[in-house]
Structure 1
Amino acid sequence: MWPFKKRGPATAGLMIDPTNGDPQVRALVAAVAARDSATIRAILDGAPDPDTHAYLMEAAAEVDGVQDWIGGWIAAEPHSTLPTLLRGCHGVFWAWEARGAARAEYTREEQFREFHRRLRIAENALDEVVDRDPGNVTAWTWLVTSARGRQVAPDEAAARFAEVVKRHPAHVVAHEQHLQYLCAKWFGSDEQMFAFARQATVAAPDGSLVPEVLVVAHIEKWLSLPRGEDGQYLRSAPVRADMLAAVHKSLFHPAFRPGLGWFPRANSFAMGLEKAGEFDAAARVFAMIGDQVTDWPWSYCGNVVKEFAAARERAYANRVG
């Protein structure tokens, strides 16, 4: 067990669990795979708040094959928006699966065609949900996500985000997805991305996960820089100060309560802090996480488990406190 020193990064026992060990998420994923609409409805309808509903939907929508059977559920329950919502949310993930994770210049034309075809299916479903239920925060959140894929204008992207936050101001997934739209690699700029991230962090309630977006903004900037400049950037005093301020308002604040969806956001804090050389804070986050490694953001660096283990080892080895 950590933090005992070993030769090389200790990866034994580490694995990516999309459910993060949560029995409710595990039951939901199993229900989607089994096409068990009654259990899917019971779990999603039981979500106590929009954030929890979004975290659950992230897990449900990423299950393979939803597009093959969801039409039957929609036909069986024409007065319900839930199956149409699942079609739309899954469709966004399904579209990105066709596109792949590479930058546009490395994506084939046929991938783009299939990407846009699937996104149209997704947005048609999501549009239907918000037409029938304008207050559906999860549908608006996935429209925030699809905004960059559909290449909507900045005003439209901002309007979609506004529909979410006027109903739930500190919605974590919506903040993460709108930040991506504002990245220079999509339709924004570094100035827009950081302005949004800093404003969101200041406005976030104490103990919220929203300040993670400031760490993600710095990771995105780091990814855009040439080798050598990237590490120097993350270790600069202003960036380190930003990351420490964000984690102290979030995971380290007395008001923070670990809940559904917190592990991927904590992994973002851990990666950013460790790469910035803030080893004490990073080690504290790693201790909170335990062995719950998540695919994102470590997939930015290569082998997820090895990168997580190596970063954790460096944080423990270099911490002072």
Structure 2
Amino acid sequence: MSALYLLIPVAVAALWFVVRYRDGSLRRAWKRPAPDAPRQAPPAPAAEEPVWEFRPENYGLVPDDQVNTDLAGPDPHLVDALRAASSGDWRPASALLAGSDPEWRWIRLVSLAKAAAEDDSWLRTWRGTRPDDPGAALVAAQSLIELAWKLRGAKQAEHTDQEQFENFHRVLAQAPSALAEAARIAPAEPAPYLGMMSVALGEGWPHERMAALWGEVVARAPEHVGAHVVALQYWCAKWRGSHALMYEFAEAAAAQAQPGSLLPMLRLAAIYEELIGQRSDHPGYHSPATTAAIDALLVDVRACPPEHAWLPAARHLLVWFLWAQRRLPEAAEQLRLVDGYIGALPWKYHSNPVKLYSPVRTHITLHVARMARESA
């Protein structure tokens, strides 16, 4: 009889285990978030769906393994041109560049140049067939710059070896003559001068020489967002400038811009450059100046033509900064418009962009879903 009494607690425990396992709560308790999730993303608020069981597709979002890390937003024409180039057909690339406005042409040019840096057989055929095609000259020149930076690698100088530096400078030195040829073929085109700014950054041009080059850019395209993004890199502290010079450049561009130009995004890009590696609770993310920069860009985004090439990139910055300030419904509004593409700041600076994007997206989405449930 005493042995029977001893079995009663064991039977109760076994019954509890079976019930909890069948209703799923015990299995959920065993699961944990991925240990390598970025430290910038805090845990999502409590919701019916635990954060580690979050499925983007349940919320109308793109699954992590289908997110495009190359583009800031959809560009099916570029995708088609890249696909054709990979099979040796240069004609879609030629038509695409010829039919693009300067902003779109720069973005597409960089993508095509990166493809040529991997395999330039289609580009050599293009140049041989149409030697005076401005698009071919631009891609040829820019591909040297893309190849040089690829040979150097993306790591900081102290983590880059001598051979990488030598290869970088060897290839980069070939770019100015190719850019000059592109400028000769298309004298009104700003793209060759944008390429020269990358040369100026890599070769360490003095500020006076960079300023003269910048004059050539603004004479052709004074509100070219891509040009300002490239120039901002030169003026930031990690390259040839300082925080003060970077902010001065960004503020001057934003303050003088026409509504809807998207140049106010430079303020947030500059703030992010200074705060790279900091947690989202850093005071820099919550200062009055940062809040004013966010609000100014929100206004500018609303005034911007929907076809503007840099609109997705501006929205990505807003997602990050609105999330950092825990303005999550506003962040969700921007997120919905760019989800599925993360080839933009801040995500593209991360060694694995999806690992930065995914927890931020999860936090925003679950929080807004919880708010919707509570209000209902």
TM-score by length of 2: 0.75
Instruction: Name the counterpart of 1:221.
Output: 274
Cα distance change on mapping 1:157 and 1:136 into 2, 3 Å = same
1:237 to 288, 291, 294: 288
Q: Partners of 1:160 and 1:290 in 2: how far apart?
A: 36
1:273 shift after superposition: 2.8
Alignment of 1:245-260 (within 5 A): 245-249=296-300, 251=301, 253-260=302-309
1:151 shift after superposition: 1.6
Q: Partners of 2:340 and 2:123 in 1: how far apart?
A: 34
Instruction: Name the counterpart of 2:257.
Output: 204
**Secondary structure of the residue that 2:51 maps to in structure 1?**
coil
Instruction: Name the counterpart of 1:287.
Output: 336
Say whether the 8 Å CA contact 1:267–1:294 is kept in structure 2: no
Instruction: Name the counterpart of 1:163.
Output: 216
Instruction: Name the counterpart of 1:54.
Output: 106
Moved more, 174-183 or 260-269: 260-269
Q: Are 1:275 and 2:275 an aligned pair?
A: no
Q: Partners of 1:172 and 1:269 in 2: how far apart?
A: 16
**Secondary structure of the residue that 1:62 maps to in structure 2?**
helix
2:241 to 168, 172, 188: 188
Cα distance change on mapping 1:66 and 1:268 into 2, 3 Å = farther
Q: Partners of 2:307 and 2:49 in 1: how far apart?
A: 28
Which segments of 5 or more consecutive residues in structure 1 lack a partner in the other structure?
none
Say whether the 8 Å CA contact 1:183–1:193 is kept in structure 2: yes
Larger Rg: 2
Say whether the 8 Å CA contact 2:316–2:344 is kept in structure 1: no
Alignment of 1:37-52 (within 5 A): 37-47=90-100, 49-52=101-104
**Secondary structure of the residue that 2:346 maps to in structure 1?**
helix
Q: Which whole-Å deviations, capped at 9, do the CAs of 1:176-214 have from their partners, x for residues lacking one? A: 000000001111111110111111112222222222211
Q: Partners of 2:244 and 2:274 in 1: how far apart?
A: 11
1:291 shift after superposition: 2.7
Say whether the 8 Å CA contact 2:262–2:297 is kept in structure 1: no
Moved more, 160-169 or 99-108: 160-169
1:229 shift after superposition: 9.6
In structure 2, give the amino acid aligned to 1:279.
L
Q: Partners of 1:317 and 1:237 in 2: how far apart?
A: 27
2:360 to 311, 316, 321: 311
Q: Which whole-Å deviations, capped at 9, do the CAs of 1:79-112 have from their partners, x for residues lacking one? A: 3333221111122111111111111111111111
Cα distance change on mapping 1:181 and 1:88 into 2, 3 Å = same
1:266 shift after superposition: 2.2
Cα distance change on mapping 1:169 and 1:10 into 2, 3 Å = farther
Say whether the 8 Å CA contact 2:193–2:213 is kept in structure 1: yes
Instruction: Name the counterpart of 1:102.
Output: 155
In structure 1, give the amino acid aligned to 2:336.
A
1:272 shift after superposition: 2.8
Q: Which whole-Å deviations, capped at 9, do the CAs of 1:198-239 have from their partners, x for residues lacking one? A: 11112222222222211110000002x7x5698232222322
1:296 shift after superposition: 4.1
Moved more, 81-90 or 103-112: 81-90
Instruction: Name the counterpart of 1:36.
Output: 89
CA RMSD of aligned residues (A): 2.7
**Secondary structure of the residue that 1:166 maps to in structure 2?**
helix
Say whether the 8 Å CA contact 1:207–1:254 is kept in structure 2: yes
Cα distance change on mapping 1:246 and 1:296 into 2, 3 Å = closer
Identical pairs, percent: 26
Q: Partners of 2:128 and 2:304 in 1: how far apart?
A: 44
Cα distance change on mapping 1:198 and 1:220 into 2, 3 Å = same
Cα distance change on mapping 1:143 and 1:192 into 2, 3 Å = same
Say whether the 8 Å CA contact 2:69–2:353 is kept in structure 1: no
2:127 to 42, 58, 74: 74
Q: Which whole-Å deviations, capped at 9, do the CAs of 1:101-146 have from their partners, x for residues lacking one? A: 1111111111111111221222221122123432121212222233
In structure 2, give the amino acid aligned to 1:111.
Q
Say whether the 8 Å CA contact 1:295–1:304 is kept in structure 2: no
Q: Higher RCO, 1 or 2 (CA under 8 Å, sep at least 6)?
A: 2
In structure 2, give the amino acid aligned to 1:7.
V
Cα distance change on mapping 1:194 and 1:230 into 2, 3 Å = farther
1:307 shift after superposition: 1.7
